[in-house]
Amino acid sequence: MAGESDYGAFTEKFIIQPSSSPDQELPLKGLTFAVKDIFDMEGYVTGFGNPDWARTHSAATTTAPAVLAMLNGGATCVGRTVMDEMAYSINGENKHYGTPKNICSPDRLPGGSSSGSAVAVGGMLVDFSLGTDTGGSVRVPASYCGILGFRPSHGVVSTSGVIPLAQSLDTVGWFARDADILNRVGRVLLQLPEVEPVKPTHITIAEDCFQLLSIPSHRVTSVLVKSVEKIFGGHIVKYACLGDYVKDNVPTLKHFKGERLEDQEYNVAPLAALSSAYRRLERSEFKNNHGEWVSTVKPDLGPGISERVWAAVRSTDENIDVCHSVKTELRAALTALLGVSIPLGTYDNLPVSISLLAKHGSDGFLLNLVETLYGTLKEQIDIAQELSY
C-alpha cells in the first residue's frame, strides 16, 4: 500500500505505459491515470476492495475495455485505487486499506465507493482516474473532494471486465480537475467525434431539491444561473418541481408509498420512493451476483458494509419486476438520467458542487456544456465567495 504522501489513495502502484508509439499524437498523450480496484487488468488480481476477495480470485487474464481505451488513447496508468468494499457504500471508508484523505476537507470523508480514484485526482497524483457509478459512486466523491466527476448514460461505456454491483444501474465514470481533460477522457471512452458545442435550448432548475440544502440555495443556484445568463441568455433558464414531475410520470412508484416516505422531513417524497425502488433493485442484483461467494467465504467486512451485504444476501426478490417498471418509466419520463458533478467552490470551508443532467445519449453535449460553462462558473464562484465574507 502507498504511504501518506499518496493520501492513502492507492492499494497498489505500478506503471503501465501506453500501447502506442510515443511519436503518435493521441488525445490523452502525456496524461497519467489511476484505476478503481474493480476493473480487471491483465496479470493483476482485481481486489474489489476486500482482501478475502483478492485471496479467493485469480489474476485477470484480460484488461477491461475502458482501461484499454485509456492506454490506447496515450495515457499512462500508475496504479489501482482504494474503494469501498464490494462497492456497496457511498462513504469512502475501507477497514482493510484505510480511508483515503479528502484533500479538500481533511477532517471529512472522501465519499465512495470510488474514493481513492477521487482523492488521486484531488491530490494531483494523476491527471484523471476511472471509477464506477451505480448510485452516485463517482458524483458523490467528486462533490466531496471538490473535483469534476462524470457518470455517463447507462450502457454507453462498456462495463466488461468490471466486477458488477448491480448491472441494471452500473456505469463506468471518470474524474478530472479541469473540464478540458474531463472532456478528452469522455470522448475517448464514448468514442465521440469532435463536434462544435450545441447551445442548450433550456436549463431547468429543480427547485424542490435545492430547498433541501443545508446552505443557502442561492449560493448554488445563483452561480449557475448567472453563468448561463452570461453565455446563453437568461431566457433558457426554467424552474420545475422535480418531485411532482416524477410523481406524475412514474405511476408505478405508487407501490412504494406504503414505506412511510411521505413523512420524512428532508426528503422529496416521490424521489424518496424512487430511491427505495433503486435500493431494492440494487440489493437483488448484488445478491444474485455475489450472494453465493459471501455465504461460502464469509469475508471479513467492515462496519456498515457487513450489515448491508448480509441484509442483501438474506433478502428476497420481492417486487423486483415493479422496480424494473419504475426504471423503464423513469427513463421514458426523463429520457433517462445522466449527471456530472461540478465543483462550485466552498461554503464554510467545505466544498459545494452541483449536478447537471441531460437526456440519455447526450453525453457529448453535456461534456461540451461543462467545458463551455466552467470558466464563467469559476468567475461567479469567486464573486459569490467575496460577497459571503
Q: Are strands 237-240 and 203-206 parallel, antiparallel or unpaired?
A: parallel
Task: Work out the burial of residue 30: count CB atoms within 10 Å of its CB; fewer than 13 is exposed, 13-18 middle, 19 or more buried.
Answer: exposed
- Reading phi first (left if > 0) and then psi (alpha if -120 to 50, else beta), residue 49 is in left
Which entry of 36, 95, 101, 287 is annotated as an active-site residue? 36
Q: Which amino acid is at 249?
A: N
Q: Which amino acid is at 321?
A: D
Which entry of 137, 227, 276, 284 is annotated as an active-site residue? 137
Which entry of 89, 95, 101, 113 is annotated as an active-site residue? 113
The closest of 172, 155, 169, 142 to 67, measured between CA atoms, is 172
Q: Alpha-carbon distance 43 to 156, whole Å?
A: 27
378 catalytic? Reply is no
Q: Alpha-carbon distance 248 to 14, whole Å?
A: 51
Q: Which amino acid is at 284?
A: S
113 catalytic? Reply is yes
Strand partners, 339: 151, 357
36 catalytic? Reply is yes
The residues that are catalytic are: 36, 113, 137
